[in-house]
Amino acid sequence: MSRKISITIVVAALLGLLGFGAWTVLLKPSGLPPEGFARGNGRIEADQIDISPRLAGRVAEIAVREGDLVAAGDVLAVMDTAELRAQLARSDAAVASAKAAVGVATAHVAEARARLALAQSEQVRAETLSERDVLSRANLDIKRTETQLAEAGLAAAEATKIAQERSVEAEAAARAEIAARIADATLFAAGPARVLYRLAQPGEVIGSGGKILTLVSLENVYMEFFLPATDAPKVRIGDDARIVADIMPDMAIPATVAFVSPQAQFTPKQVETQTERESLMFRIRVNIPPELIAARIDQVKTGVRGVTWVRLVAADGSLPDWPDGLTPPLATLPPAAAATVTQP
């Protein structure tokens, strides 16, 4: 009886071993991409933006907290502008004073023109009287000199007026500079982003260029990966791609090839391929469509690892068709699916 049990156990073990071998050889995925396709490992990334004041000053207000989602035009922080507003008031007074000086100069020009007109009239009368020998030659020379002095006086008055007008422009430019500094004291979001770090608090004094916030821009979400020199030349900018995130292994995010490095480099340390590493690799970037990001902006997370699939151009310029699992229409996906399709 014990012998039959032993034989049964041995047979079961052999069958199990054979079954595992068959699964390994026939059913287990090989890990190699299908013909006409290539893939590379990477992380979903986005550009980080440091929010800093152009000028040193005290932080008056920070309107956001870490994790907040902001849109273009949202106020992020406000610097204290009490000193700048005092300078602006002084500049307003300087502009008003310069404009008043222009008014005085304009009056002087009018006065100088009247004097010139009078001097010219008296000179003409003197010329007539001199021709009749009623006026002496000396008196005629005096009238001519008075006309010349009036002309010089008019030229000086007009030059003074021009100088005063330039002074108004200079004061207005100084005022505009101060107003620009006040405008720069309010820091806005340039586009959709999420607050990653809040590095300062209201009341702190920040130097010029000092960081107040760090944002993760959601305008351009992408993944970078590396392909060997045998595959990279077959990838074209503008072709579509698929991103499969590790946290959603049965889904794939549509993307577009945005960059293919024109220069090879040695294999970076972060490249983890399932096949043997190549000596030279090319960096490739694929972008997730902005409309896809906007539609599911609350679900976008960066730093998530995954795999990017791309199609390789054949010798005749054609591209292979995506497998059936990679091509369902996006409209069929539920909103929570993060605009993804099935991984091959």
Domain boundaries, the chain: 31-50+219-337, 51-81+186-206, 82-183
Give the class (CATH, top level) of 31-50+219-337.
mainly beta
Q: Give 280-333 as a DSSP string.
A: EEEEEEEE--HHHHHHTGGG--SS-EEEEEEEPPPTTS--PPPPGGG---GGGS
pLDDT of residue 279: 64
Measured CA to CA, the distance from residue 269 to residue 226 in angstroms comes to 11
Measured CA to CA, the distance from residue 334 to residue 329 in angstroms comes to 11
Output helix, strand, coil percentages for the chain, rounded to the nearest 5.
40, 25, 30
Measured CA to CA, the distance from residue 196 to residue 217 in angstroms comes to 10
Measured CA to CA, the distance from residue 192 to residue 298 in angstroms comes to 11
Q: Please answer whether residues 69 and 192 qualify as being in contact, where contact means their C-beta atoms are separated by less than 8 angstroms.
A: yes
H helices, E strands: number in the chain: 4, 13
Q: What does the pLDDT profile of the chain (344 residues) look like in tens digits?
A: 455 555 555 445 554 444 444 333 333 334 566 788 898 899 999 999 999 999 899 999 999 999 999 999 999 999 999 999 999 999 999 999 999 999 999 999 999 999 999 988 888 888 888 788 777 888 878 888 988 998 999 999 999 999 999 999 999 999 999 999 999 999 999 999 999 999 999 999 999 889 999 999 998 899 999 998 888 889 999 999 998 888 887 777 889 999 999 888 776 655 555 444 456 789 999 999 888 888 888 878 888 899 899 999 988 888 888 876 555 444 334 444 433 333 33
R_g of the chain, CA atoms, integer Å: 40
Q: What is the pTM of this model?
A: 0.66
Place of tokens 């002095």: 149
Give the class (CATH, top level) of 51-81+186-206.
mainly beta
| Residue 114: CB atoms within 10 Å | 12
Measured CA to CA, the distance from residue 213 to residue 129 in angstroms comes to 86
Task: Look at residue 100 and give its three-state secondary structure.
Answer: helix
